[in-house]
Amino acid sequence: MPVGRRVAYWRGRRKLSQQVFADRLGKSKSWVDKVERGVRALDKVTTLQEIAAVLRIDTAVLLARDAQPTGTSGRGEGVERVRAALSRYDVPLDRPAAHRSALPVDQVARQVVHAWTTFQRARYPQLTDLLPELLADVERTHSGDPTAGRVPLVEAYRITASLLVKLGDPDLAWLAVDRAMNAATGDRVLVAAAAVQLGQVLRACGQARVAKSAMLNAAYRIAPPVIEFGPPPALSLCGTLLVQAALAAAFHSDARTAEDLLDEAATLATHVNDGHDHYRTGFGPTAVALARTAVAVELGDVRNAATWHEKAVRRDGWRWLAPEHRAAHLVDSACAYLHADDPINAGRLLIDADRIAPAEVRLRPAARDLLAQIARDPRTPTTITQLAVTLGLG
C-alpha cells in the first residue's frame, strides 16, 4: 500500500477530516489531498514523523508500504517440505535412502522429545525444518527395530499432524494421523495417544460426528475400570479424548452432550491435577476449564465463553500449560470477545497471545483471519492495528 493511502487509511480510522488533519499538521487541505492521492511524495523523515504523531502511530507503520504477510511464504514452504517428506516412501519402496544407517532408538526418541518441545513452544518454522529429517530417521529406525521403534514413529506422526492442523492443511494432517493410527494398532495406549490428533484432524476437516464417535470409542477403551485408582497417564488420555469429543459435539450444536462430556472429563482431571503433561496432553483441571471456553465459543455462547476464560486464566495451572496451549486459548477467547462486540478486549487477548507464542498468531490462518477482523473495527487499539499492518493484514 502506498504511503499516501496509508495516511488516508489511518486518518479515517482516527475519524479526522482532511481539513482537521491539515490544521493539526499546519498544512493545507489541498496538500493532504495530494499526499493521499499520491500526487505529492512524502520524502522527508521529519514530515513522516509529524504525520505519525498526529495519527498516533509509529512512523514504521507508514513506511511499511511493501509489507508482505509475515511468515505466510515461510509457512507454505514449510508445509511443502513436510509434504515432500510424507511422500518419500523410502522404506516401502526400498530406495537407497532407506539403507542409510538407522539411528539407535534412544537417539531418535530424544529427537522426538525435542520436536514435541519445539511444537509446545509454538516454534513452528523451526519445527517444519526439523520434521523432514526426523520423519526419515524414525521410519528407518522403525524398519530396523519395529518393536522398539514404534513409539518414536507414532509420536513423530502425532507431532506432524498437530503442526499441519495449526498451519491450515488438515488434508495433509489426515495422512500423518492415519499413519500414526496404523502404526499404533495393537497398542491400546498408543492408539489412544494418536486418537487425540485424529480428533483434531477430523474436526478440522468438518467431520465432527465421526470425530465424536471415534473419540468416545478411544476414550472408553483406555478408561481405567475404577477411576479413583486409575494411573494419571491413562486418565489424562481418556480425559483429553473426552474433551475432543465435547468439542466435536459442540461443532454440530449438541450443547447437552458437550457439557456432559466436559463434566466427565473434569471428574478425571481431579485425579490428575495440573502441572503434568502425560502423553503431551497438558490435561488437568485448568485444561478442562479452557476447553469449556472453546466449547462455548463453538456453540456461539459468547457470554459464558468470556466467563470461563476469566476463571481459567486466574487458576494456578494456567502458568504451567505450554505456551502453544495458552496462546491457542487466547485466540479462542479473542474470538468470543469479538462476537460479543468487544474488539478492545479481543485485541488485548491477541496481543497477549502474540507475546506468549508469536507463531500462534502470525502463522495460523484462523488467527490471522481473526486479527484482520479485529483490526477493521475503528475501536481497536493501535497496538492491534499496528500488528495487522506488520503482518500485511492492514
* Residue 377, helix vs strand vs coil: coil
Cα distances from 164 to residues 149, 201, 300, in angstroms, run 23, 9, 26
Using an 8 Å Cβ cutoff, are 56 and 14 in contact? Answer: yes
**pLDDT tens per residue, the chain (394 residues)?**
578 888 888 888 778 889 999 988 888 988 998 888 877 877 676 788 788 878 877 676 676 544 444 455 556 788 999 999 999 888 888 888 877 889 999 999 999 999 999 999 999 999 999 999 999 999 999 999 999 999 999 999 999 999 999 998 999 999 999 999 999 999 999 999 999 999 999 999 889 999 999 999 999 999 998 888 899 999 999 999 999 999 999 988 899 999 999 999 999 999 999 999 999 999 999 999 999 999 999 998 999 999 999 999 999 999 999 999 999 999 999 999 998 989 999 999 999 999 999 999 999 988 988 898 888 887 887 788 888 888 877 5
Q: Where are the domains of the chain?
A: 3-63, 72-313, 322-394
Contact 72, 161 (CB under 8 A): no
CA–CA gap between residue 394 and residue 384 (Å, rounded): 10
pTM: 0.81
DSSP tag of 227: G
Return the closest-CA partner of residue 196 out of 155, 139, 229.
155
Upper half-sphere CA count for residue 91 (Cβ side, 13 Å) = 16
Contact 394, 388 (CB under 8 A): yes
Hey, what CATH class is 72-313 in?
A: mainly alpha
Question: What topology does CATH give the domain 3-63?
Answer: 434 Repressor (Amino-terminal Domain) (1.10.260)
